[in-house]
Structure formats: C-alpha cells, structure tokens
Chains A and B, each alone.
Chain A
Amino acid sequence: MDDDLRAKLDRRNELSLRVRRLLVEDLHVPRELDEIDPDTPLFGVGLTLDSIDAVDLLVQLEVKFGINIPSDAEGRAALRSVNCIVDLVLAREDAERGAA
C-alpha cells in the first residue's frame, strides 16, 4: 500500500473510532466499539437510534467535529452509518484544504 493511501486510511480509521466512541459514550449505544461495524444502519434497524438520539448526534457532531448538519430529512440522510458520517467529516476537511 502506498504512503498516500496509508495516510488517508489512517485518518479514516481515526475518525471512525471517534464516531463509534461518540455513539457508545455520548449516545449510550450498548455495544463495544469493535461491535459497531462501519456500515451498520444507525436508525430504524441496526443500532435503532431514534429521533431524540438524532438530535443528540447532531449536537455532538457539531461539538466534537465542527460539522453543522441540518436536522431536516436531508441531514438525517447523511447520518445513516458510521461510514456516512466519516465521509462528511472528510469532505469538510477536503473543502477546507481547498479553500486555504
């Protein structure tokens, strides 16, 4: 694996761990960190988060990752899995790098 890809995946793994820690520690998902697979649905089936959890999640993502996601349907659609959230954070980082 080349260094560039290695660095990208290291960053991805770091963010994934932080998101899973947020789910367990702040939203009290009753799972060990390594039991939350990156594509597990967060709402409905899967981790069965509800609308109140969704509000908590939006707040925590703003506090801990600085990303502001609207609480409408489009915002909820962006929060469907750990991988989806990591994609959002990485996209914001890319946009900031592009703007700098």
Chain B
Amino acid sequence: MELPDRILTLRRSVALSRLPHVHYVRLRGDGAHELLDRVFTRELYVRVGQLSLGLLLRDDGSVLADCYLGSDEDGFFLLAECRDRAELLEYLRRHGEGTGELEIVATDEYALISVEGPYAWQLMARLGGPEIIGLPFMTFFHLDGMICCRAGKTGEYGYWLIVPSSREGSVWDDLREKGRALDVGEAGLDALDVCALENWFFNVRREGSGDLTPLELQLQWRLSRSKAFIGSEALVERRRLGLRKRVTTVAAPGPMSLGERLVRDGRPIGEVVNAAFSPARGDWVGLALVELEYAHPGVTASLTGAGEILARFISTPVIANRSLYVNPQVHSYASRHEDDFPSLVPS
C-alpha cells in the first residue's frame, strides 16, 4: 500500500506498525530512581501503571531522547525514541554512576507493535477483552506476558504493545486476523511520522535532530519547574539570553524540503525543519524554525526552493482527528457510514 493510503487507513480505521526505532529500557535497583531524577525532565510522580511523557537532554539542552517513563513492580522502564541506542545507553550509564545499585537493561528480547486509529480500541478489545476500552490515556497494564500502553503520537486512539520478540510474529498475525472486519492495515514508520507531524507530536529524528532545545521546540510543558535535571542549566542560560526563534507549523500548496528557507520582506526569517505531504489535507505541512516576531499563525512567507511557493504559518494540530468524535460507547467501525463525523480537515 502506498504511503498516502497507509496514512488514511490510520486516520479512518486502524493500522498496525512495528516500532524498531523505540527502545525499551528497563531500570532496576535502588539507583534507578536517583538516575531518572537526574535525567528525566519531568517530576517522577509516576504511580504504578502510569506513563509520563518527558525528555532526556544533553548538557547543552539539546534533546537526546523522547521518552515515555513507566513504573511497575519490576522498577521503571523507558520507551525511548532517539537516533542512537548506544548513545542512549552510554548516557544512562554515565549519569547513573554513584547512584547505588543500578541495572540498565536494553535487549532485543522485546519488540514493540503499535495499534492506532479511531477504531483501535475495537481491535484491542478483541485482543484483550472489553476492559481495554476503558484504559485511560497514559496508562499501561500487563496483558498475557505483554505490556499494553495506552499511548501513541498520532492524535488517534493508540496502544503500544511491548511483546516478547519470540511472539512478535504471532501477535502481529493475531491482530491482522482479529482486525479483518475493521479493515486493519499496516502504517509503518514513514506514515507514523506524517501523522505525528499533523498533530505536532515531537519527532526527535526530525526537528529534534539538531541543537534545538525544548524552548525553541515549544516543549516547555515537558520540563519540571521544581527540580534540576541534565540540561536544565543550559535552558536557564538560554532563557536569560532571550529566545530568538521558535518552531511553528507551516502549510504550503507545494513541496517543502528540510533546510529550505522562508523569506519575507526580502530576507530569510526561518527554515523548514520537518515537512511532508498530508494526504488528508491535500497540501504540504511542516515545521519551521522562525524568528520569534514572525512565528505566528496567519503570517505568510515564500519558500525559496523549487520555484516560489507561498507558505502560511498555521495553528496546530492541522487535522481534526476522528478519534475526537468516536465514542466507544456509541460508535463502531461497522456503523461508521451512519455516523456524522466532521471532515479530517479543520474548517
């Protein structure tokens, strides 16, 4: 299936993806809490069964990893997206020195599968029982040797399954079989990246791959106000100097490419740091690092790549996610044609 079709499957029904870019890391021992308190950018008020979405920063405040943190009877675990697993593990071991007993385990014995879409809850109920429908966002539970996380970065109902690698194939096949009546499809990382962009879930492999900090990235909500963490001193200094640029959402009728400049009044005011064609909208959407005074919805600027295309900064999310309107108590995939849902494109 082509990329636009895979994206639209996720937006309209339910789609499966393998997540080899997400690293499952277990942290055990007395030192685990102290390590996480040093490196995780949010408070560690995580009850058993809860997830917290935070960051791991380098000393200069740039982003190393985008992480879910969970806590259970076995200690803590991270579901970490980053560019380099070896760098992640070296970072954790280095900052874990002197914390007491600490075991950091990242193996290939587990794989991750995501189930996402406005009817993902219906497929998950067929896999694990109807109680899954009531699982609150940002929680998880153990299910038949797997961990089922109510999470995701597409703006739709989302579940991430942490599965023993030996069972990955059978769980995948089971989901495909159980999802047949839901027209389940396969999305894949490229489709997930576009969906994350449409809802502006941070992408550490795109806009997060340079030296931008959470201040430019509009991720201040992921920063603790009450504790120091690795990188927090750099953020204090950057705040003191004053923020000059901010990442903002941009849409254009023609292609945008990474690094392409945005020009207004005869001079560059920003550059594209993430971009993709949105099949739901029928135009290109992206993120641009823009001078602060221009980084507002409604401002226009010219893209200077292939020809001159007028781009417009817009509010995010750029999609009216169907999951906002699908109520598991009322709707089902079978009745979707009778349900009056708004267009995927906000009016």
Contact = CB atoms under 8 A, between A and B. Distances in A.
A18 to B, nearest CB: 15
A10 to B, nearest CB: 10
A1 B316 CA distance: 24
Contacts of A87: 297, 315
A41 B315 CA distance: 11
Contacts of A41: 221
Given A45-B53, A81-B316, A37 B296 contact: no
A21 interface: no
Interface residues of B, number: 29
Contacts of A39: 200, 218, 248-249, 315-316
- What class of interface size applies to chain A in its complex with B? 20 to 34
B316 A31 contact: no
Given A39-B316, A83-B297, A84-B315, A73 B324 contact: yes
Contacts of B265: 1-2
A13 B297 CA distance: 11
B164 interface: no
A77 interface: yes
A96 interface: no
Q: Provide the main secondary structure of the chain A interface.
A: loop
B342 interface: yes
Contacts of B297: 12, 83, 86-87
Contacts of B321: 77
Given A36-B220, A73-B325, A80 B342 contact: no
B307 interface: no
Contact of A9 (B248, B293, B317): B293
A52 interface: no
Interface in B207-249: 218-221, 223, 225, 246, 248-249
A30 interface: yes
A80 to B, nearest CB: 6
Contacts of A38: 218, 296
Contacts of A30: 225
B299 interface: yes
Interface in A27-47: 30-32, 35-41, 44-47
B298 interface: yes
Interface string B105-117: 0000000000000
Nearest to A31: B225
Contact of B137 (A5, A44, A86): A44
Nearest to A88: B315
A81 B315 contact: yes
Closest 4 CB pairs of A and B: A37-B218, A83-B315, A73-B325, A35-B220
Interface of B: 53, 137-138, 200, 218-221, 223, 225, 246, 248-249, 265, 293-294, 296-299, 315-317, 320-321, 324-325, 342, 346
Given A46-B221, A73-B324, A86-B297, 9 more contacts: A12-B298, A35-B225, A37-B246, A44-B138, A45-B221, A73-B325, A77-B321, A81-B316, A83-B316
